[in-house]
């Protein structure tokens, strides 16, 4: 079965007055139809930039420096705006973090969903458009859709708004959904509802998804596979079970140890020391080395390649090199539920 | 929204409007009378210099100019409240009549100028925003910056020099040819002043539209609209321009006096028989009553357009409307 989306050695930089910001560095991943991949990492590690560069929605200061993006086997790396327009909404759609700003405040919610429907079916009749809009709203769990499509975004609650955004995203029946922290700005109870809705829709419609988040709890709830990003690179990737129960990268250990649920009743939460590096001039060697208590001398010299652990699991750390000392992951780091 | 609170708010606004007009009237009355100059020159023309002191005193007595200013002012109000705004010294007619005979010309020039700017500015602004940073955008922005820096009177003179004196295409002054003319004649006389009024103001508003549209273009919903598959042009028109429209409309309401002021200056240079020329003459020749009425009318227009701006922005943006009572639903 061919991969739905395949990203190979993608590097994306922003050219700012402060210099070249290497937001995405040599990232490779793939996505099969109907699969959910979670992109996990701290703020500013390049998760959003990665998604937007695939949809070519980056500002003019950004450029794909190298690598390729294949969708359904076709190379879309150098597609122009005209070609991308045909793919957006149909091949991939997007949901953003803040539903407050993701909807145009001066247009009714229904008009904004209808607009997404009409892009793909320009000749649709008025009545059919209303029907389809109502159907989409019902699909995402907005009841009394015909009444509510006349409402403005400010008359909706946060969760309802995110449902409306999701409805617009699903209008073109996309094969891939990029969900950029879709629950971060919501209340915890609403978060759970939206996540369940998301998972349910994804299964029912068979949509593949790239789920960007910094919340490992969310990952466990929705994802099939996980890619952990740090400083613009994917440092570990595998199935949810592999990454949660058998993490190999020290950064992943740190992330898992920092989870409150896994703190084991200790008084203070674990935090990874230090700050992520700036991506203007990424450090030599492993970007995580200076925050890594298990760093080896070589980490400061040379970037680790991806070491395969299993067919589906690999991590970029020298600790996996056969010559490296054997280190047991710290408590909480990999022993989830054991 | 309750009717009571609405009435109270409107009442407050009207009160503020009346108070402002009163302050304006007082200021104009005192300043015009304290300014140096001889109002009798307006009334008698060159003859005023040959009047004997006795005749002068008589004339001033008759025009009520030798009383203390506050007495004159009280008398002016007394008459004004009965609808009598005094006579124009120069035209020896009711000031209101003189103004009525000229207002049409100014309304045509100012109104057409305003309408053109109102329509062209969003188009130009959206075009620049669409081509942001491109050659067209850069040329238009620079050209606009240069043209709006040129004072209108100078622009008018250059226009006359080029199109009337050198090329002889268009008439240089007046609103119609001597002896009257048809519609074509009126339009020919209107082109140059209108062109200057529009050119002088258009860029400023187009630039405002451009920056508002681009500001909106950075919003999340624009990114998402593109993600839905909408083209850049469509997103700019349907989303950004729409969001920029409320502030544009209120801006345009505020612009009424701005454009009116420009019209006055342009009328002067083209000797176009409108309120601008009249206002200049009345200030120049101490035609007190005419000046008073013109100032109050212009002031009224300024204040009303300010209030209209407020009202418009309140009506157009659903978020502002919501604060008036329609509740959000959970």
Strands (E), chain B: 87-88, 93-94
Taking contacts as CB-CB distances below 8 angstroms, the residues of chain B near A184 are none
In angstroms, the separation between the Cα of residue A204 and the nearest Cα of chain B is 21
In angstroms, the separation between the Cα of residue A280 and the nearest Cα of chain B is 23
pLDDT in tens, A135-148: 999 999 998 999 99
User: pLDDT value at position B156?
Assistant: 85
User: pLDDT value at position B133?
Assistant: 79
First to last CA, chain B: 21
Neighbours of B75 (CB within 10 A): 13
Are the beta carbons of B330 and A120 separated by less than 8 Å?
Answer: no
Cα-based torsion angle of the residue sequence B59, B63, B69, B70 in order, rounded to the nearest 10 degrees: 140
- Position B209 pLDDT exceeds 60: yes
Are the beta carbons of B242 and A107 separated by less than 8 Å?
Answer: yes
Pairing between β-strand A36-40 and β-strand A225-230 as defined by DSSP bridges: parallel
| Chain A residue at shortest CA distance from B241 | A106
Does a structural domain hold residue A9?
no
Measured CA to CA, the distance from residue A89 to residue A93 in angstroms comes to 5
Taking contacts as CB-CB distances below 8 angstroms, the residues of chain A near B329 are 151, 155-157
Q: What percent of chain A has pLDDT over 70?
A: 95
Q: Which candidate, A62, A58, A60, places its Cα nearest to that of B134? A: A60
Segment (H or E) for A9: strand A5-16
Measured CA to CA, the distance from residue B110 to residue A271 in angstroms comes to 68
User: pLDDT value at position A133?
Assistant: 94
Taking contacts as CB-CB distances below 8 angstroms, the residues of chain B near A102 are 220-221, 224
Measured CA to CA, the distance from residue A63 to residue A43 in angstroms comes to 20
B69 close to A (CB below 8 A): no
Are the beta carbons of B329 and A155 separated by less than 8 Å?
Answer: yes
The C-alpha angle with vertex B134 and arms to A76 and B120, in degrees rounded to 5, equals 120
pLDDT in tens, A300-324: 878 888 888 888 898 888 888 888 7
CATH code of B95-322, in short, is 1.10.3720.10
- Position B62 pLDDT exceeds 80: no
Measured CA to CA, the distance from residue A321 to residue A78 in angstroms comes to 36
- C-alpha B251 chain-centroid distance: 13
Give the B window 238-297 contacts with A, CB below 8 Å: 238-239, 242-243, 245-246
Are the beta carbons of A154 and B319 separated by less than 8 Å?
Answer: yes
Neighbours of A27 (CB within 10 A): 22
Are the beta carbons of A152 and B242 separated by less than 8 Å?
Answer: no
B319 close to A (CB below 8 A): yes
Measured CA to CA, the distance from residue B147 to residue A293 in angstroms comes to 64
Are the beta carbons of B229 and A119 separated by less than 8 Å?
Answer: yes
Measured CA to CA, the distance from residue B263 to residue B255 in angstroms comes to 12
Q: What share of chain B is helix, strand, coil (3-state, %, to 5)?
A: 80, 0, 20
Measured CA to CA, the distance from residue A234 to residue A236 in angstroms comes to 6
A93 close to B (CB below 8 A): yes
Does a structural domain hold residue A210?
no
Measured CA to CA, the distance from residue B116 to residue B118 in angstroms comes to 5
User: pLDDT value at position B186?
Assistant: 78
Are the beta carbons of B227 and A156 separated by less than 8 Å?
Answer: no
| Chain B residue at shortest CA distance from A159 | B330
Give the CA radius of gyration of chain B. 25
- Domain limits for position A274: 230-320
User: pLDDT value at position A82?
Assistant: 86
Q: Is A23 exposed, middle or buried (0-12, 13-18, 19+ CB in 10 A)?
A: buried
B178 close to A (CB below 8 A): no
> Could you tell me if A14 and A53 are in contact, meaning their C-beta atoms sit under 8 angstroms apart?
no
Bigger pLDDT: B113 or A259? B113
pTM over 0.90: no
Taking contacts as CB-CB distances below 8 angstroms, the residues of chain B near A152 are 318-319, 322
Alpha-carbon distances of B50 from B44, B66, B90, B165, B286, rounded to whole Å: 10, 19, 17, 39, 18
ipTM surpasses cut 0.90: no
Q: Taking residues B205-212, what's their average pLDDT?
A: 87
Measured CA to CA, the distance from residue B140 to residue B70 in angstroms comes to 54
User: pLDDT value at position A337?
Assistant: 40
Domain count for chain A, please give it.
1
DSSP character string of B21-51: HHHHHHHHHHHHHHSSS-HHHHHHGGGGGG-
Are the beta carbons of A165 and B224 separated by less than 8 Å?
Answer: yes
Instruction: Name the residue ranges covered by the structural domains of chain B.
Output: 3-94, 95-322
Q: How confident is the model at residue B327 (pLDDT cuts 50, 70, 90)?
A: very low
Mutation target to probe the A interface, by most A beta carbons within 10 A, among B228, B230, B237, B326 is: B228
Q: Which candidate, A177, A338, A319, A194, places its Cα nearest to that of A250? A: A319
- Position A210 pLDDT exceeds 80: yes
Which token pair is A309? Answer: 């652990």
Does a structural domain hold residue A251?
yes
DSSP state of A328: P
Measured CA to CA, the distance from residue A124 to residue A130 in angstroms comes to 10
Taking contacts as CB-CB distances below 8 angstroms, the residues of chain A near B231 are 81, 85
A144 close to B (CB below 8 A): no
pLDDT in tens, A222-250: 899 999 998 888 999 999 988 888 888 88
Q: Is B6 exposed, middle or buried (0-12, 13-18, 19+ CB in 10 A)?
A: exposed
Are the beta carbons of A89 and B228 separated by less than 8 Å?
Answer: yes
pLDDT in tens, A31-60: 998 899 999 988 778 888 899 899 888 887
């Amino acid at each position: 079965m061919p991969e739905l989306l395949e990203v190979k050695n993608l590097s994306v930089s922003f050219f700012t007055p402060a210099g070249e910001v290497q937001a995405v560095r040599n990232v490779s991943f793939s996505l099969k139809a109907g699969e959910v991949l979670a992109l996990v990492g701290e703020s500013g590690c390049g998760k959003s930039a990665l998604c937007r560069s695939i949809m070519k929605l980056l500002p003019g200061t950004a450029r794909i420096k190298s690598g390729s993006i294949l969708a359904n086997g076709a190379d879309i790396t150098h597609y122009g705006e005209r070609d991308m327009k045909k793919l957006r909404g149909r091949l991939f759609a997007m949901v953003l973090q803040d539903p407050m700003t993701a909807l145009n405040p001066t247009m009714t919610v229904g008009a904004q969903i209808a607009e997404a429907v009409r892009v793909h079916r320009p000749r649709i009749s008025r009545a059919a458009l209303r029907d389809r809009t109502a159907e989409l709203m019902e699909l995402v769990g907005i009841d009394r859709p015909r009444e509510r499509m006349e409402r403005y975004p400010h008359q909706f609650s946060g969760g309802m708004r995110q449902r409306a955004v999701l409805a617009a995203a699903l209008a073109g029946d996309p094969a891939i959904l990029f969900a950029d922290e879709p629950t971060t700005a919501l209340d915890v109870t609403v978060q759970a509802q939206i996540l369940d809705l998301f998972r349910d829709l994804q299964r029912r419609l068979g949509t593949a998804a790239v789920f960007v988040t910094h919340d490992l709890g969310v990952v466990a709830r929705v994802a099939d596979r996980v890619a952990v990003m740090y400083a613009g690179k994917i440092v570990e990737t595998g199935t949810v079970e592999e990454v949660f129960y058998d993490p190999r990268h020290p950064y992943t250990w740190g992330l898992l140890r920092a989870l409150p649920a896994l703190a084991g009743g200790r008084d203070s939460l674990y935090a990874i020391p230090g700050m992520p590096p700036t991506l203007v001039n990424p450090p030599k060697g492993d970007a995580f080395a200076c925050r890594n208590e298990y760093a080896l001398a070589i980490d400061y010299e040379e970037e680790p390649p991806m070491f395969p652990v299993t067919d589906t699991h690999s991590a970029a750390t020298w600790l996996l090199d056969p010559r490296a000392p054997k280190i047991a992951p710290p408590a909480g780091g990999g022993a989830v539920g054991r | 929204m309750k009717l009571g609170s609405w009435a109270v708010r409107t009442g407050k606004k009207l009160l503020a409007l009346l108070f402002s007009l009163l302050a304006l009237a007082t200021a104009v009355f005192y300043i015009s009378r304290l300014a140096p100059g001889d109002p009798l020159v307006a009334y008698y023309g060159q003859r005023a210099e040959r009047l004997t002191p006795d005749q002068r005193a008589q004339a001033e007595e008759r025009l009520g100019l030798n009383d203390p200013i506050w007495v004159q002012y009280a008398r002016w109000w007394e008459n004004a409240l009965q609808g009598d705004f005094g006579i124009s010294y120069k035209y020896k007619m009711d000031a209101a009549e003189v103004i009525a005979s000229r207002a049409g010309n100014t309304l045509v020039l100012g109104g057409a100028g305003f309408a053109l700017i109102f329509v062209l500015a969003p188009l130009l602004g959206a075009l620049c925003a669409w081509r942001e940073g491109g050659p067209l955008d850069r040329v238009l922005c620079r050209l606009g910056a240069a043209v709006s820096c040129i004072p209108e009177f100078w622009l008018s003179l250059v226009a006359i020099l080029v199109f009337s004196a050198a090329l002889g295409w268009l008439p240089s002054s007046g609103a119609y040819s001597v002896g009257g003319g048809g519609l074509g004649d009126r339009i020919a006389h209107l082109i140059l002043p209108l062109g200057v009024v529009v050119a002088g103001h258009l860029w400023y508003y187009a630039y405002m539209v451009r920056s508002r549209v681009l500001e909106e273009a950075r919003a999340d919903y624009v990114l998402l609209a593109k993600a839905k598959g909408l083209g850049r042009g469509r997103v700019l028109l349907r989303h950004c321009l729409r969001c920029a429209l409320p502030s544009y409309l209120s801006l345009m309401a505020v612009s009424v006096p701005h454009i009116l002021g420009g019209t006055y200056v342009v009328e002067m240079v083209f000797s176009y028989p409108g309120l601008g020329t009249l206002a200049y003459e009345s200030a120049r020749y101490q035609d007190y009553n005419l000046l008073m009425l013109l100032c109050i009318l212009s002031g009224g227009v300024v204040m009303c357009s300010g209030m209209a701006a407020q009202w418009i922005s309140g009506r157009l943006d659903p978020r502002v409307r919501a604060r008036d009572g329609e509740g959000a639903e959970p």
